Amino acid sequence: PIWFISELMTIDAARNRLYAVNIGSKTISVYAINPSTGALTEMPFSPIPLPESFNLACTISVHPTGSPLVVG
């Protein structure tokens, strides 16, 4: 359902990063956000693989300090 798509992305304001869950590939894409332009640049360690046993992400969130990143 479309109602939960917005919960599959989160912004880390402390580090200017965008995290997005990729359901099909069971990964998390990580982008640096240019604070002046809003342009996104994929981080070199992206995508982050989720455990193979992970079935479906319903939400993603990051602590205000930038760590930890939680996917559930």
Residue 30 and residue 12 in contact, taking contact as beta carbons nearer than 8 Å: no
pTM: 0.83
pLDDT in tens, 43-55: 999 999 988 777 7
Model pLDDT, residue 5: 56
Cβ atoms within 10 Å, residue 12: 19
Residue 57 and residue 47 in contact, taking contact as beta carbons nearer than 8 Å: no
Per-residue pLDDT of the chain (72 residues; tens, 9 = 90+): 454 555 688 999 999 999 998 877 888 999 999 999 999 999 999 999 988 777 766 678 888 888 888 887
Per DSSP, the three-state class of 7 is helix
Model pLDDT, residue 15: 93
